[in-house]
Structure 1
Amino acid sequence: MKQLTFYFDPISPYAALAFEALPEALAGHSVEVVYRPILFAALLQALGQKGPAEIEAKRRWTFRQVAWLAHVQGVVLDPPAQHPFNPLPLLRLAWACAAPQGQPGDTPGRWVAEQLFHHVWRGAGADANEPARLAELSRRLAPAQDPAGEAVKQRLRSETEAALGLGVFGVPTVELDGRLFWGQDALPMLRAALDGDPWFRSGIWESAAQPRPGVARKH
């Protein structure tokens, strides 16, 4: 059985769409999926980038595109009342639902991830951080650990740092056999890798990523 890792932050509509489409992309294969919530904003800060929602023209396009993609996929995608918002309460809740690191069940399962995504993107436009809604979500998930505890906070930090160390720069990212597939639109490529497409043994994956000299922007 192969194992792949799904890196996500529920703040991302593309991660929500990829989450919904993932079972179809994996159909017919025996695959264990490990779900790892990470802080997208920390990736952006570490790499000196802005998020799509922080650039007005890009924000408008992003929400138009994800509305179209949801239509094509036939899934519900209702943007929350505020976006971007602070996803830390949701990310910490996700890790609080897992066992402590090193113990069986030390990553949140698909059901937990699904509850987070639906809370944000199927909430009929409600505020993702509205206290009563967060309290209800927490009651439903019944976390085994304290979401506000230092152990959970540190786990989120260490998972995000580990993802950065692997080369993860955005969400969603799927890791399979040491390869990183970024974005909802990379799922067909992931499927091809699972199917054993000979392209992945041709050397093109490696050669295409080689650095090339070019003009460097002056800051």
Structure 2
Amino acid sequence: MKHITFYLDFVSPYAWLAFERLPEVLEGLSYSVEYRPVLLGALLKQHGNPGPAGIAPKRDWTYRHVTWLGHSLGLGLQMPARHPFNPLPMLRQALACSRDGSINRFVAGTLLRHVWQGGHDALDAQRLTALAAELEPQLQPDDADGARAKALLRSNTDAAAARGVFGVPAFEVDGKIFWGFDSLTMLRAYLDGDSWFGHDWDAAASVAQGLPG
């Protein structure tokens, strides 16, 4: 059985799409998944990447693209009333349900649906209160001030960056990082034992840099 670490931030529409599609794409394979919330903004900042929302035409395209993907795949994606938004409250809420930095699929799905279904404001106070109530049975004890959740988020994000994660969704298996919703079929091929990964994985990334450093 292969173990997959799924790095996600609830602010990412592609994380929602990947979350929903993963079971179907990997159907029939033996694997386990560990969901790890990370702060996407910190990963982007580390590489000087403004993200899609920082480039106006790319922002427009991204929102059209993800909405189309949700429609075409039947995944029910609606853009929230405001985006991007500060995902920290939801990341910390998720990790309040964790002792080791990982969350279960119920917690991940509850938070992703909160953002990506219905077209509502993800940070609306009443909705956040309802979200907290829904997740209350999942809460871990002894973290009344939220310090453990904050520390877990920092630790998850730092560890992900050290592993080579630069965006979400990202999937790590056997030390290999697969990035983005469109990498799911590539991940499937690896888990299926495609021989390409025996040589071409490393060879493809060994091209010499053609621009000055």
Kindly tell me the number of residue pairs found equivalent between the two proteins: 210
Q: Name the SS of the counterpart of 1:22 in structure 2.
A: helix
What is the RMSD computed on CA atoms of the aligned residues? 1.3
Q: Tell whether the 8 Å contact from 2:52 to 2:62 is kept in structure 1 after alignment.
A: yes
> 1:20-41: per-residue Cα shift (whole Å, max 9, x none)?
1000121101111000000000
Aligned-partner residue type, residue 18 of structure 2: A
> 1:134-185: per-residue Cα shift (whole Å, max 9, x none)?
1111111112254752111011001000000000000000011111100000
The equivalent of 1:128 in structure 2 is 122
Distance 1:147 1:138 in 2: 13
The equivalent of 1:24 in structure 2 is 24
Distance 2:169 2:145 in 1: 25
1:186 maps to 2:180: no
Distance change (3 Å), C-alpha of 1:136 and 1:147: farther
Aligned-partner residue type, residue 115 of structure 2: V
The equivalent of 2:51 in structure 1 is 51
The equivalent of 1:160 in structure 2 is 157
TM-score of the aligned structures, taking structure 2 as reference length = 0.95
> 1:49-68: per-residue Cα shift (whole Å, max 9, x none)?
10101211000000111111
Distance 1:147 1:88 in 2: 17
Aligned-partner residue type, residue 67 of structure 1: T
Distance change (3 Å), C-alpha of 1:148 and 1:59: farther
Q: Which runs of 5+ in 1 are unaligned?
A: none
TM-score of the aligned structures, taking structure 1 as reference length = 0.92
Aligned-partner residue type, residue 82 of structure 1: R
The equivalent of 2:102 in structure 1 is 107
The equivalent of 1:207 in structure 2 is 203
Distance 1:51 1:113 in 2: 22
Aligned-partner residue type, residue 107 of structure 2: V
Distance 1:211 1:166 in 2: 21
1:118 maps to 2:78: no
Q: Tell whether the 8 Å contact from 1:147 to 1:153 is kept in structure 2 after alignment.
A: no
Q: Tell whether the 8 Å contact from 2:67 to 2:79 is kept in structure 1 after alignment.
A: no
Aligned-partner residue type, residue 183 of structure 1: G
